[in-house]
Structure 1
Amino acid sequence: MTDSSAPRRTRRDAVANRAGLLTAAAQTLAADPNASVDTIARAAGLSRRALYSHFDDRDALIREMIHAGAERFNVVADTVDDDGPAPLALARLALALWEGAAHVQFAAAVALDDSHVGETAAILTPVRRRVLEIVDRGRCEGTLRGDLHVTTVARLVEEAARTVITRLDSSRPDAAGVAVRAILGVAGLGWREADAVLAEARA
């Protein structure tokens, strides 16, 4: 073993421990929103002291969990195909984001609750810009509502998405479909139109 290999291994272990704590926090807090730092540390296979070597306190851990989750949403949004009419692009984006949120619904709900939504919104700027672009395109196409300013419609879409992520039980039958229909509805589609667009987005 070279002299430099031990520090490298230590850094790799630290990175792995931090990632493990974030994963454990999301899973543990989903089961018990009031879980203590001791419980989270044990779930990660680490000590309380190890947790505090990475995070100043429980709130710092939760903020980092929120940041990591929001960045994953940005990555997901960047991979979604937005070819075709704006309603189809919006449905595809909503489906992809719902799938990402459903696996970590507690973390997503915390990120989007009233006490964190401002911070989360700043991190989610790429996603919000994508929504605004799609809504603006839909307004020009005449496929999304044109009775309100484009930024207002985009904000309504964001609020609908926030509501379904924080309130809708991801285990209910076709929760993704319910979420997408709600988003398309506030964007101006009737329920029959929304059903047709959802079917195409899933095809």
Structure 2
Amino acid sequence: MTTRAPRRDAVENRAGILDAARSALSVDPYASVDVIARSAGLSRRTLYGHFDDREALIRELISTGAQRFNAIAESVTDADARLALARLTARLWHEAAHVQVAAALALDEAHVQHTADALAPLRRTVAALVRRGQDDGSFRSDLAAPTLARLIEEIARTVISRTDAASTGAANLAVRAVLSIAGLSWRETDELLAAHPDIVTGPTEAPA
């Protein structure tokens, strides 16, 4: 028996609900299902036809955001582990600033496990970069690769949650913080970013 593809209006309604949820939650992180449904121009019943409850809607927002983050991880191909980590950090930062609601939800402790599962490809990329950087002497080796990768994740979480994404130099700060944890001195980071100013000068489009 073949599975029927979703009707076009159903797909559009679902996308509209997600867009409305992002908008409503950016104004009020505790926005109710009723508020989100009204923002989408749909009834509460129609919304529940797509999502079982508010939590399911939030998990979907995190998942769709994670797909973009994972795609960004695949797009970074620099052979130099330092450049790759810097570029990955900057691109993820710009994307997180673009979808601040999804990023904030992902950083919420209540969704840690779901976020970790959704971001598994990105986390594997970071772990591989750390191992590569340790092998070629670019990154600190006093810590085991899994521990260093986890520290990089945690410092990135902290910077995102504590820094105004719209502030001047925010991406630069994020990159510098991550490279510092990886073991680069501030002088080494200065030299790297001076040689590759494109890394932090502006948003990079995520892959479609």
- Deviation for aligned residue 1:42: 1.9
Aligned equivalent of 2:166: 171
Deviation of 1:34 after TM superposition, in Å, equals 1.4
Alignment-derived partner of residue 102 in structure 1: 97
Q: Are residues 12 and 200 of structure 1, via their aligned partners in 2, closer, same or farther at CA, if it must alter by over 3 Å?
A: farther
Check the 8 A contact 1:24/1:43 in 2, yes or no: yes
Corresponding letter in the other structure for 2:13: N
Select which of 11, 16, 31 maps to 1:15: 11
* Letter in structure 1 aligned against 2:21: A
Q: Distance in 1 between matches of 2:194 and 2:101?
A: 28
User: CA-atom RMSD, angstroms?
Assistant: 1.6
Distance in 1 (alpha carbons) for counterparts of 2:35 and 2:193: 41
**2: distance between equivalents of 1:199 and 1:113?**
35
1:74 is the counterpart of 2:70: yes
| Counterparts of residues 1-203 of structure 1 (less than 5 Å) | 11-83=7-79, 85-203=80-198
TM-score by length of 2: 0.88
Distance across 1 between alignment mates of 2:38 and 2:190: 45
What's the offset of the Cα at 1:82?
A: 2.3
Greater CA drift, 116-125 or 144-153: 116-125
Distance 1:17 1:199 in 2: 46
* Distance in 1 (alpha carbons) for counterparts of 2:190 and 2:18: 37
| Conserved? CA contact 1:180–1:198, under 8 Å | no
Q: Displacement of 1:58 after TM fit?
A: 1.0
Q: Percent identity?
A: 58
TM-score w.r.t. structure 1 length?
A: 0.90
Deviation at 1:199, TM superposition (A): 3.7
Q: Structure 2: 5+ residue runs without aligned partners?
A: 199-208
User: Per-residue deviation at 1:193?
Assistant: 1.7
Equivalent residue, structure 2, for 1:3:
none
Post-superposition shift, 1:192?
Answer: 2.1
Give the length in aligned residue pairs: 195
The CA deviation at 1:174 is: 1.2
Tell me the amino acid that sits aligned with residue 39 of structure 1. V
In the alignment, structure 1 segments of 5+ residues that lack a partner are: 1-6
- The answer on whether the counterparts of 2:24 and 2:36 sit within 8 Å (CA) in structure 1 is yes
How far 1:88 moved relative to its partner? 0.8
Alpha-carbon distance change, 200 to 23 in structure 1, aligned in 2, over 3 angstroms:
farther
Distance in 1, Cα, partners of 2:191 & 2:38: 47
